[in-house]
Amino acid sequence: MRALQERWERGSPVIETLPASFGRPVAIHQRFIVCALSRGKINVLRKSDWHCVRTLAGHKGEVLDACVNASGCKLLTCSKDGTVRLWDMTKGSHTIVLNNFKLHINRVRFTANAILAAGNTGEAVLFDSTSAARLQVCQSLPLGRAWDANDNCLASMTDGPLVELWDPATCLLKQALLQGNSPMDVGFVHFDRDRIAVTGFCSPDIAIWDLKTYQVWRTINTGVSNALKKVALAGCWLACHAHGVLMVWDVESGTQLQEFRESSSVQSILMDSFGVLIVYHCQTEWRR
C-alpha cells in the first residue's frame, strides 16, 4: 500500500490499457475484474496478469450491472434479458436465476444474506440468496438517479438536499443525511465499509460521511468548476471525475495524489485499494 501511495504522490502510477476484447468492466474485486461481453457472456479476469480465468454464459442479453461479494466466491448480475443471476465463481455456473420482474432491473447489490435488485422506477426487490424466496418489495425508495448499497444499508438520493439510509431487510428508513441546503443538491452516492461519499450537483465538494455517527467525517474540495460526474471510494482512496479531469485523493489526509487530463469521455470508474479502473467508450485503463 505504501509503494502504491508513493507512486501516486510522485505522479508516476503504472498505467495499463486493457484490450477491448476483454469486454466492458462492470465489477471489481481485490483479485479480479468482471467484464461484460456481447450476447450476455461474462469474462472474469485475474488482475495480476489479466488472464481470463472464467467465461460465464447464461444471459441472453447485454449485462447491465454486476456485484461481487466480499469473499469473491459469488457474483450477481442483471441483464437486458430481464433476469438476475447468482453465480458460483468457483464452479463457473449460476446457482439462482430470478425473472418475472414487473420492473426493468438495471442494478444489483449484495446485502446481508440477501440479493437486492432494483430499477429506475423507485422499486426494489429483496431475495434470499440461498432459497431465492422473495423477501420484500420496496415500492417507496427514491432510486431514480443515484443509489448504492452495502451489507446492511441502502443509500438513495432524494429530490431535495437529503441522502436517505434504508434498512434493506425491512425497507424502513434508518437515517437521513443533510447534504447542502438547496433543492436538487445531492449527486452521486458510493459506499465503502462504514463510509459513504456524496457529491452535490452544483458543488465541487465531496462529503465523506461516517455511517456509525452519521456525521460528516471529511469534506474534499476538488476545486473543479464543472459538476462532478463520477465518484468511487475504496478504503483510503477516492477517485472523482469532472469534465476532462480525473482526480485521485487520499481521504485520510485530505490531500490530492494525482490529477489526469482526460481527452476521452469517461463512462464509469471502478476502484479498489490497489488502483482505479477508468472505462472509456473504446478502451479501459488500469492505473495503480
Distance CA 182, CA 163 (A): 13
Q: Average pLDDT, whole number, for the chain?
A: 81
- Of 22, 19, 21, give the one whose Cα is nearest residue 32: 22
Mean pLDDT of 41-64: 92
Distance CA 46, CA 107 (A): 24
Q: What confidence tier does 8 reach under pLDDT thresholds 50, 70, 90?
A: low
Q: Percent of the chain at pLDDT above 70?
A: 86
The answer for residues whose C-beta is within 8 angstroms of residue 286's C-beta and 6 or more apart is 15, 16, 17, 18, 47, 275, 276, 277
Is the pLDDT assigned to residue 70 strictly greater than 80? Answer: yes
Q: What confidence tier does 183 reach under pLDDT thresholds 50, 70, 90?
A: very low
Which residue in this structure is represented by grid cell 438495471? 106
Which of 39-48, 63-72, 167-176, 190-199 shows the lowest mean pLDDT across its residues? Answer: 167-176
Distance CA 216, CA 238 (A): 15
Mean pLDDT of 176-191: 69
Q: What is the largest CA-CA distance in the chain?
A: 52
Is the pLDDT assigned to residue 287 strictly greater than 90? Answer: no
Please list the residues that pair with 220 across neighbouring strands.
206
Phi-psi region of 273 (alpha: psi -120 to 50; beta: other; left: phi over 0): alpha
Is the pLDDT assigned to residue 145 strictly greater than 70? Answer: no
Is the pLDDT assigned to residue 30 strictly greater than 70? Answer: yes
Render pLDDT for 216-268 as a digit per residue (tens, 0 to 9): 999 998 888 777 778 888 888 888 888 788 888 988 889 888 888 875 677 78
Give the number of other CB atoms < 10 A from CB of residue 213: 9
Is the pLDDT assigned to residue 115 strictly greater than 50? Answer: yes
* pTM for the whole structure: 0.85
